[in-house]
Structure 1
Amino acid sequence: MLNIKVKTFSELTTKELYDLLQLRSEVFVVEQDCVYQDIDGKDQKALHVLGFKDEVLVGYTRIFKPGDYFELASIGRVVVKENERKHKYGYDIMDASIKTIKDVFNTTDIKISAQCYLKRFYNNLQFFEVGEQYLEDGIPHIAMIYEDK
């Protein structure tokens, strides 16, 4: 189980900010071989959900209140360190993100832009596809909406 911390941008320590940007770059730029502008000016509006294992950041998401990214609340930059995925930490970090949206933004209306190859993972978390597949930064994505159980 991960030790989860939720912080605003201004609450992040310099080390936490460095570590989350390094993790995002490690996976989204290097592992997925995708050149894109990760530092997009939206981190300042987001809540950052950090998942630590033995004080090392291994999972992360950023979440937005309704209207700050999509019309609905949203979760993005969902990432787990490659050598830690076998522990299913993606579920821990997503469960914490969904709970934070419920607790802080008082809504269960959540939209994500998911990489298509992860549809089953998100389906297991009660997210379901809406609309057609599209390319985002050269990678097939699909919009998905959360259906509260």
Structure 2
Amino acid sequence: MSTTEGTIQWSCVPFRELSVHTLYDAMQLRSRVFVVEQKCIWVEVDGYDKGCWHVVGTAPDGTIAAYARLVAPLLKGPHQKRPIISRVVVPPEARGTGRGRVLMLKAMDECHKLWPTHGIEIGAQQRLEEFYASLGFKAVSEPYDEDGILHVDMHHDYVKSTVTAL
């Protein structure tokens, strides 16, 4: 599925439908932010991408303007009952523009199209807990350390979001 909002072209596709260029650019952005900027030395490509759906916002010049990964229920094992929105990222130069909020709303909408009888879970960086709460997520865990960054598990149980982009 593909839509245009503002100057960003949005799509949500399974792994097999990602072009090699889009896949490369998404992985490069993820590594730039999650490994280099946040100084998390880990294997960022964790083996789940092939079974996921990928929400991609593409700028007019063809660069990745926003990206999120949708992990299908049960992909990580029988304990995972809900879809997970993960690897939520916008380029550092786009932070504070509202693009992350639009990305999350797109990702949430796609989750509910793909898995309409499920809520959503995220493993949010604790510093962003208030942002995710503004989208209707509720903390369901105490903060925990993941790769040197405090995180909190959050769930969203909605049927259809009434949250707006800005």
Q: Of Structure 1 and Structure 2, which has the larger fraction of its residues in helix?
A: 1
Alignment of 1:23-34 (within 5 A): 23-34=29-40
- Provide the secondary structure at the position in 2 that maps to 1:72: coil
Q: Which aligned segments of 4 or more residues in structure 1 are displaced greater than 3 angstroms? A: none
Q: Which protein is bigger by CA-based radius of gyration?
A: 2
Q: Give unpaired runs (5+ residues) of structure 2.
A: 1-5, 162-166
Q: Give unpaired runs (5+ residues) of structure 1.
A: none
Work out whether 1:65 is the aligned partner of 2:72. yes
* Correspondence for 2:136 among 108, 126, 136: 126
Preserved CA contact (<8 Å) 1:115 1:141? yes
Preserved CA contact (<8 Å) 2:141 2:153? yes
CA displacement 1:115-141 (0-9 Å, x = unmatched): 101111101111111121111112110
Match of 1:48 in 2: 54
* Correspondence for 1:99 among 96, 104, 109: 109
CA displacement 1:3-31 (0-9 Å, x = unmatched): 21111111111100100000000100111
Q: Of Structure 1 and Structure 2, which has the larger fraction of its residues in strand?
A: 1
Comparing 123-132 and 65-74, the one that deviates more = 65-74
Alignment of 1:67-86 (within 5 A): 67-69=74-76, 70-86=80-96
Q: 1:108 to 1:75 in 2, by over 3 A?
A: same
Identity over aligned pairs, percent? 36
CA displacement 1:45-92 (0-9 Å, x = unmatched): 100000122222021000022212322111000111000112111111
Preserved CA contact (<8 Å) 1:74 1:112? yes
Preserved CA contact (<8 Å) 1:5 1:49? yes
Query: Relative contact order, CA 8 A, sep 6+: which one is greater?
Result: 1
What CA distance in whole angstroms lies between the structure 1 residues aligned with 2:128 and 2:118?
A: 21
- TM-score, scaled relative to structure 2: 0.85
- Provide the secondary structure at the position in 1 that maps to 2:51: coil
- TM-score, scaled relative to structure 1: 0.94
Preserved CA contact (<8 Å) 1:4 1:52? yes
What CA distance in whole angstroms lies between the structure 1 residues aligned with 2:117 and 2:43?
A: 29
**RMSD value, Cα:** 1.2
One-letter identity of the residue aligned with 1:67: L
